[in-house]
Chain A
Amino acid sequence: MEYRGKVWVFGDDVDTDAIIPARYLNTSDPGELAAHCMEDADPAFMVKMQPGDMLAAGKNFGCGSSREHAPIAIKAAGISCVIAASFARIFYRNAINIGLPILESPEASKALQEGQEVQVDLKAGTITNLSTGEVFQATPFPDFMRQLMDAGGLIPYVQQKVAGQKG
């Protein structure tokens, strides 16, 4: 799977309240959540971004709450993938479970600058900065995570398993 888009850069410890403030959690509709994506980190983000764009951030992206609304909002906003130096544990798990592509690369996180064109090859785990030509290798996913992603997320994976038990 390959993605290409412009990158928006955020700092360390971007928390789930910044990604989707709790005042909007009285709905679980992906479209309504997307309208407020990253609002408390950058109020103009949804006006500026284009579908297909990417997020790049520092360490501990998605820290705080377990709200799956955070990766749902990012995915529904049309962000193609998130690159960070590291991810908070629950966000990492949630992103894989719902099929939001994420890549962990401290090097890319440090090098990427806002507005640069980036190409991501999810299978190879490579991040190419098209503006500079630099190529970064992301931390590989454990095999099980790859199986989950190949299945399309946790629900299709469990569906397959449940169907297997019935048959």
Chain B
Amino acid sequence: MGMTMAEKILARHAGREEVAPGDLVLARVDLVLGNDITAPVAIREFYRIGVEDVFDRERIALVPDHFVPNKDIQSAEQAKIMRDFARKFNILHYFEVGRMGVEHALLPEAGLTLPGELIIGADSHTCTYGALGAFATGVGSTDMAAAMATGEAWFKVPATIKFIYRGKLPPWVGGKDLILHTIGDIGVDGGLYKALEFTGEAIEELDMDGRFTMSNMAIEAGAKAGLIAPDATTRDYLKGRASRPYREAFSDEDACYEKVIEYDVSNLEPQVAFPHLPENARPVREAGDVILDQVIIGSCTNGRIEDMRAAARVLEGKKVHKGLRLIIIPATQAIYRQAIDEGLVHTFLDAGAAVSTPTCGPCLGGYMGILARGEKALATTNRNFVGRMGHPESEVYLSGPAVAAASAVTGRITHPEEVL
């Protein structure tokens, strides 16, 4: 019996010939990560274990990104706990403000997440690295603490659901639309405890940034991981970037899938997810008249250079609607710089947008764009739960960057074709 790529990666890291769904394995991890919210709890638990050192100072990544540059005294204290820990144990991959980025954009960019690797992170969107063909999954702070001490973690091998996206992607349709459509189909628990594997010609056609967006939101279907097999696009991305040698993993021809779901995407429309769950996806043209107070373009889902370019293409020569705030947050310093070099930031500023240093900020209702009671926002982020971006009576809608930019121009949820 063949294995899926998820099963192969878990088997290799557990030192086993093969594994099957349901098996419990103790596996070596290639990277453990945490952020300024989750790492302080993990550090407290780490000290309770009573080991003298971390398992490997080069295999831990600590990224202050949620509330930095710090928004208040309490968050500054949290960030300091992580900074002090990084100094004490000489953690190689600690990224200070000015050099940091949103973790799931930053770590792939730094070549720290690689095909065939097993990665855990105390952040639910750790599944982003599945886009590179890694088995990457979110865990809690206590799991992070144990892994920092031992270099290992326990896994229940998940069954895999295979998705095949057939057909050519229509204009204005990208990774965000594919994944919102998928979650709309299977639901927010449609992938619960499963690995998702994204395949098909539409995936092959997607650039790396679009693939990151898809894998990033696997968790919004409840999934443990969202994997894409490495190909020429993956290898091009990793050229000159990979921080260590890696070994790719591919699903066998005779791998066993729990389910295979196929979509023909050749007529797919840009999608928008309505409050208060990502599964409330529908075509933008069917959104009706949703008047917006704010648009956010950024986050670990859509804050990469292709997202900035897509937004700039729509905003070029236009103005942000007078009744609306547009906030654009490039996800890393490198993306920020590239957006400046390519003239995208000029386009944003000319349009009347606010452009911020990298931060998760508004995505989780942290700061930098909190909503008042009754306000509505369209965001390229990943969650639209009650109170996600501010007041419990505010609303968040989700879309890709082109729809977000077009909507910022008209002041309501809008298809990009309407403004171009």
Residues of chain A whose beta carbon lies under 8 Å from any beta carbon of chain B: 13, 15, 17-18, 21-23, 25-28, 40-41, 43, 59-60, 63-69, 71-72, 86, 88-90, 93-94, 97-98, 142, 144, 153-155, 158-159, 161-163
Question: Can you list 13 A-B contacts (CB < 8 A)?
Answer: A17-B385, A21-B392, A22-B364, A23-B370, A26-B75, A26-B78, A28-B44, A63-B189, A93-B139, A154-B146, A158-B146, A159-B49, A162-B50
The A-contacting residues of B in range 304-362, CB under 8 angstroms, are: none
Contact yes or no, B189 A17, CB < 8 A:
no
Q: Using A23-B366, A25-B66, A159-B49 as known contacts, say yes or no to A67 and B192 having CB atoms under 8 A apart.
A: no
Contact yes or no, A86 B189, CB < 8 A:
yes
Least CB distance from B288 to A in Å reads: 24
Least CB distance from B228 to A in Å reads: 20
Contact yes or no, B392 A142, CB < 8 A:
no
Residue B71, interface by CB 8 Å: yes
Which residue of chain A has its CB nearest to the CB of B194? A89
- Determine the distance from Cα of A130 to Cα of B201 in the docked complex, in whole angstroms: 57
The A-contacting residues of B in range 158-211, CB under 8 angstroms, are: 188-189, 192-193
Contact yes or no, B123 A66, CB < 8 A:
yes
Query: Which one of A27, A43, A69, A89 has the greatest number of beta carbons of chain B within 10 Å?
Result: A89
Contact yes or no, A60 B146, CB < 8 A:
no
Cβ contacts under 8 Å, B48 to chain A: 155, 159
Q: Using A18-B387, A89-B192 as known contacts, say yes or no to A26 and B74 having CB atoms under 8 A apart.
A: yes
Task: Indicate with 1 or 0, residue by residue over B51-81, a CB within 8 angstroms of chain A CB atoms.
Answer: 1000000000000001100011011001000
Q: Which of B123, B126, B224, B365 contacts A23 (CB 8 A)?
A: B365
Q: Using A21-B365, A162-B51, A162-B149 as known contacts, say yes or no to A144 and B40 having CB atoms under 8 A apart.
A: no
Q: Using A26-B78, A28-B40 as known contacts, say yes or no to A60 and B188 having CB atoms under 8 A apart.
A: yes
Contact yes or no, B192 A86, CB < 8 A:
yes
The A-contacting residues of B in range 240-254, CB under 8 angstroms, are: none
Q: Which of A60, A88, A153 contacts B142 (CB 8 A)?
A: A153
Cβ contacts under 8 Å, B365 to chain A: 17, 21-23
Cβ contacts under 8 Å, A162 to chain B: 49-51, 149-150
Cβ contacts under 8 Å, A67 to chain B: 37-38, 140
Contact yes or no, A28 B78, CB < 8 A:
yes
Which residue of chain B has its CB nearest to the CB of A22? B364
Known: A66-B124, A89-B222, A142-B156. 18 other contacts (CB 8 A): A13-B189, A17-B365, A21-B387, A22-B365, A23-B370, A26-B74, A41-B386, A43-B392, A60-B189, A64-B219, A66-B126, A67-B140, A68-B142, A88-B189, A89-B193, A94-B140, A97-B143, A155-B45
Least CB distance from A95 to B in Å reads: 9
Q: Which of A13, A40, A144, A161 contacts B387 (CB 8 A)?
A: A40
Q: Using A66-B122, A67-B38, A155-B49 as known contacts, say yes or no to A89 and B224 having CB atoms under 8 A apart.
A: yes
Which residue of chain A has its CB nearest to the CB of B141? A68
Contact yes or no, B142 A18, CB < 8 A:
no
Cβ contacts under 8 Å, B72 to chain A: 26
Q: Which of B41, B67, B126, B387 contacts A68 (CB 8 A)?
A: B41
Least CB distance from A26 to B in Å reads: 4
- Determine the distance from Cα of A65 to Cα of B222 in the docked complex, in whole angstroms: 10
Least CB distance from B31 to A in Å reads: 15
Task: Indicate with 1 or 0, residue by residue over B242-271, a CB within 8 angstroms of chain A CB atoms.
Answer: 000000000000000000000000000000
Residue B383, interface by CB 8 Å: yes
Contact yes or no, B140 A97, CB < 8 A:
yes
Q: Using A17-B388, A26-B71, A26-B72 as known contacts, say yes or no to A155 and B193 having CB atoms under 8 A apart.
A: no
Cβ contacts under 8 Å, B121 to chain A: 66
Least CB distance from B211 to A in Å reads: 22
Cβ contacts under 8 Å, B386 to chain A: 15, 17-18, 40-41
Contact yes or no, A27 B143, CB < 8 A:
no
Task: Indicate with 1 or 0, residue by residue over B126-161, a CB within 8 angstroms of chain A CB atoms.
Answer: 100000000000111111011001100010100000
Least CB distance from A21 to B in Å reads: 5
Cβ contacts under 8 Å, A158 to chain B: 49, 146, 149-150
Query: Which one of A15, A59, A161 has the greatest number of beta carbons of chain B within 10 Å?
Result: A15
Which residue of chain B has its CB nearest to the CB of A65? B124
Cβ contacts under 8 Å, A86 to chain B: 189, 192
- Determine the distance from Cα of A19 to Cα of B72 in the docked complex, in whole angstroms: 22
Residue B19, interface by CB 8 Å: no
Contact yes or no, A22 B38, CB < 8 A:
no
Least CB distance from A107 to B in Å reads: 18
Contact yes or no, B41 A27, CB < 8 A:
no
The A-contacting residues of B in range 206-252, CB under 8 angstroms, are: 219, 222, 224
- Give the 10 A-B CB pairs with smallest separation, nearest first: A94-B140, A26-B74, A68-B140, A97-B142, A22-B364, A26-B75, A60-B189, A66-B124, A40-B387, A66-B138
Q: Using A27-B74, A144-B24 as known contacts, say yes or no to A98 and B142 having CB atoms under 8 A apart.
A: yes
Residue B277, interface by CB 8 Å: yes
Least CB distance from A84 to B in Å reads: 11
Task: Indicate with 1 or 0, residue by residue over B94-128, a CB within 8 angstroms of chain A CB atoms.
Answer: 00000000000000000000000000011110100
Which residue of chain A has its CB nearest to the CB of B224? A89
